[in-house]
Chain A
Amino acid sequence: DQQVKQNSPSLSVQEGRISILNCDYTNSMFDYFLWYKKYPAEGPTFLISISSIKDKNEDGRFTVFLNKSAKHLSLHIVPSQPGDSAVYFCAASDLTSGTYKYIFGTGTRLKVLA
């Protein structure tokens, strides 16, 4: 049973436009969510996070939105740049469990077209 789902395996966007990557989760105990970016032949790197007490967190061109009632989060990239082309993973954790484990989604490959 996949607790964190990224239903779009790939996404193509024109440079300068908005990229929206989606993530759904099933475990209502998840209270902390992160997005990672991964380039080929490299490890994932942290991008942005959000706690369940917030519904939005912004860092430069990147904004994460959390809709707890829908168990859905999204990552917005505005404006999209060719260097943003990568695989994006969302991850979730139940911090109240004290285990500090993270469950990752399957990833969305973003391609920003110049």
Chain B
Amino acid sequence: NAGVTQTPKFRVLKTGQSMTLLCAQDMNHEYMYWYRQDPGMGLRLIHYSVGEGTTAKGEVPDGYNVSRLKKQNFLLGLESAAPSQTSVYFCASSERGAYNEQFFGPGTRLTVL
């Protein structure tokens, strides 16, 4: 099992460009999450999904959109990238229900110039 994978690992964008980050999990998990990690800020939840076809906003959703068309994939989109979106992005997944830990991907380092 690959667990949680993220594509790409690194990306540099210019302000105003768009891109999509792909998260895939092979554990048949129901819940998936997107976080960003910034120095001194910890992990902040951007969007999450509790099942195929569902999405919900987290703590810092502005400037991002997500889609969960297939259970195993969770896409994070930046329509018009800004320097404030320079960060490391982590995807995570967990089983349905309570008392389940999250499994994280290796991260995507995004720089917006």
A binds B: yes
Binding site for B on A (CB under 8 A): 4, 6, 9, 32, 34, 36, 41-46, 49, 51, 89, 91, 95, 99-107
Q: Verify A34–B101 contact, CB threshold 8 A.
A: yes
Q: How distant is A73 from chain B, measured CB to nearest CB, in Å? A: 15
Using known A-B contacts A41-B107, A43-B105, A44-B104, determine if residue A104 contacts B42 with beta carbons closer than 8 Å: yes
Give the residue among B40, B90, B101 with the most A Cβ atoms within 10 A: B101
Asked whether any CB of chain A lies closer than 8 Å to the CB of B74, the reply is no
Contact partner of A100 among B40, B98, B107, CB < 8 A? B98
Q: Could you mark each residue 32-63 of chain B with 1 if its beta carbon is under 8 Å from any beta carbon of chain A, else 0?
A: 01010000111111001010000010110000
Q: A104-B43, A106-B42 are in contact. Are A42 and B58 (CB under 8 A)?
A: no
The answer to whether A101 touches B58 (Cβ under 8 A) is: yes
Q: Which residues of B approach A to under 8 Å, CB–CB?
A: 4, 31, 33, 35, 40-45, 48, 50, 56, 58-59, 90, 92, 94, 97-99, 101-107
Total of A-B residue pairs, C-beta within 8 Å: 59
Q: Which residues of B contact A44 (CB under 8 A)?
A: 43, 90, 104
Closest Cβ neighbor of B106 among chain A residues: A43
Contact B50 A100 (CB under 8 A): yes
| A27, chain B: closest CB distance, angstroms | 13
- Closest residue of chain B to A6, judged by CB? B42
The reply to whether B99 and A104 contact each other, CB–CB distance below 8 Å, is: no
The verdict on A106 contacting B41 (CB below 8 Å), with A43-B105, A44-B104, A100-B31 known, is yes
Contacting pair B99 A43 (CB below 8 A): no
Q: How far is the CB of A102 from chain B (nearest CB, A)?
A: 7
Residue of B nearest to A100 (CB): B31
Residue of B nearest to A90 (CB): B42
CB–CB B42/A102 < 8 A: no
Contacts of A99 in B (CB 8 A): 50, 56
* B106 neighbours in A (Cβ, 8 Å): 41-43
- Tell me the complex Cα distance, A101–B33, Å: 9
Given contacts A43-B105, A106-B40, 6 further A-B contacts (CB under 8 A): A101-B45, A102-B33, A103-B59, A104-B35, A104-B43, A106-B42
